[in-house]
Amino acid sequence: MFAHTFKQHTVMAAATLLAAFALTACSPAAAQPSTPPAAAVEAAVVTPTVVQIVTKDHLFEAPAEIEGGWVTVKSRNEGAEPHHVQLAQLNDGVTFEAFVEALQQGPEVAFPLMSLAGGPGPLDTGGEAVVTVELAPGNYVLADFLPSADGVPHIAKGMLAPLTVVAPANGADDVTVALPEVAGEVKLMSFSFVLPQEIQAGEQVWKVTNEGDQWHEISLIKLAEGKTMMDVTHWMHAPDGPPPFTNVGGMQGLDPGESAYLHLDLTPGEYVGLCHIPDPASGKEHAELGMVMPFTVK
Task: Enumerate binding residues for Cu ion (CB under 5 A).
Answer: 216, 275, 277, 286, 291
Alpha-carbon torsion, ordered 287, 188, 50, 271, to 10 deg: 50
Neighbours of 24 (CB within 10 A): 9
Nearer to Cu ion, 9 or 284 (CB): 284
Strand pairing class (86-90; 114-116): antiparallel
CB of 295 vs Cu ion, minimal distance in Å:
17
Left if phi > 0, otherwise alpha if psi is -120 to 50, otherwise beta: which for 276?
alpha
CB of 111 vs Cu ion, minimal distance in Å:
14
Nearer to Cu ion, 234 or 284 (CB): 284
CB of 152 vs Cu ion, minimal distance in Å:
23
Nearer to Cu ion, 138 or 153 (CB): 153
Query: Which residues is 206 bridged to in the sheet?
Result: 184, 262
* CB neighbour list of residue 120: distance below 8 Å, 6 or more residues apart: 53, 73, 74, 75, 84, 85, 129, 130, 131, 249, 250, 252
What size, in residues, is the chain? 298
CB of 225 vs Cu ion, minimal distance in Å:
28
Within 33-117, strands assigned E span 44-46, 49-56, 59-61, 65-67, 69-77, 86-90, 114-116
Nearer to Cu ion, 260 or 277 (CB): 277
Alpha-carbon distance of 35 to 139, in angstroms, equals: 43
CB of 219 vs Cu ion, minimal distance in Å:
10
CB of 5 vs Cu ion, minimal distance in Å:
25
Nearer to Cu ion, 128 or 211 (CB): 211
CB of 286 vs Cu ion, minimal distance in Å:
3
Q: How many helices (H) and strands (E) does the chain have?
A: 5, 19
Phi, psi of 45 (to 5 degrees): -105, 125
Nearer to Cu ion, 133 or 208 (CB): 208
Alpha-carbon distance of 220 to 89, in angstroms, equals: 23
Nearer to Cu ion, 51 or 287 (CB): 287
